[in-house]
């Protein structure tokens, strides 16, 4: 059974994260449509705050292991793409940076699950 704090933090996190992604996509399609009135990054800040609150209310980190590794894999792929695109200055170390970015989320998740 979830506590009231866990429910509020969970709903706040998902609402903020979905609003951030939605407004960011709308602003990317039509520049200035959202950013002219409010910064979309405020929703990211709210998602980070609610996410931190939600993680403090979770009783066990062993719930939903498949979802955790799926999200870690998705973040690894995104980080690897970012490392490849911005890694032109690394030259010979570019592939190493991409591989490090790819495995970092799964490594962090494995370390958190040990504790």
**In the chain, where are the structural domains located?**
1-59, 62-115
Q: Rounded CA gap, 87 and 90, in Å?
A: 5
Nearest residue to 110 (alpha-carbon basis) of 74, 61, 52, 58: 61
> What's the pLDDT score for residue 23?
92
Nearest residue to 27 (alpha-carbon basis) of 39, 13, 44: 39
Give the residue carrying structure tokens 């490392």: 83
Give the residue carrying structure tokens 């980190």: 61
Stretches where the chain sits below pLDDT 70 are 1, 59-64, 113-115
- pLDDT digit string (tens) for 36-55? 899 888 998 999 899 888 87
* Residue 34: Cβ within 10 Å count: 18
């Amino acid at each position: 059974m979830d506590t009231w704090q866990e429910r509020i933090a969970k709903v706040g996190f998902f609402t903020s994260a979905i609003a951030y992604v939605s407004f960011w996509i709308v602003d990317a399609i039509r520049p200035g449509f959202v950013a002219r009135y409010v910064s979309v990054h405020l929703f990211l800040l709210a998602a980070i705050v609610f996410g931190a609150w939600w993680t403090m209310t979770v009783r066990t980190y062993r719930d939903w292991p498949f979802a955790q590794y799926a999200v870690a894999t998705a973040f690894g792929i995104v980080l690897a793409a970012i490392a490849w695109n911005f890694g032109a200055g690394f030259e010979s170390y570019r592939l190493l940076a991409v591989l490090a970015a790819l495995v970092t989320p799964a490594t962090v998740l494995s370390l958190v699950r040990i504790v």
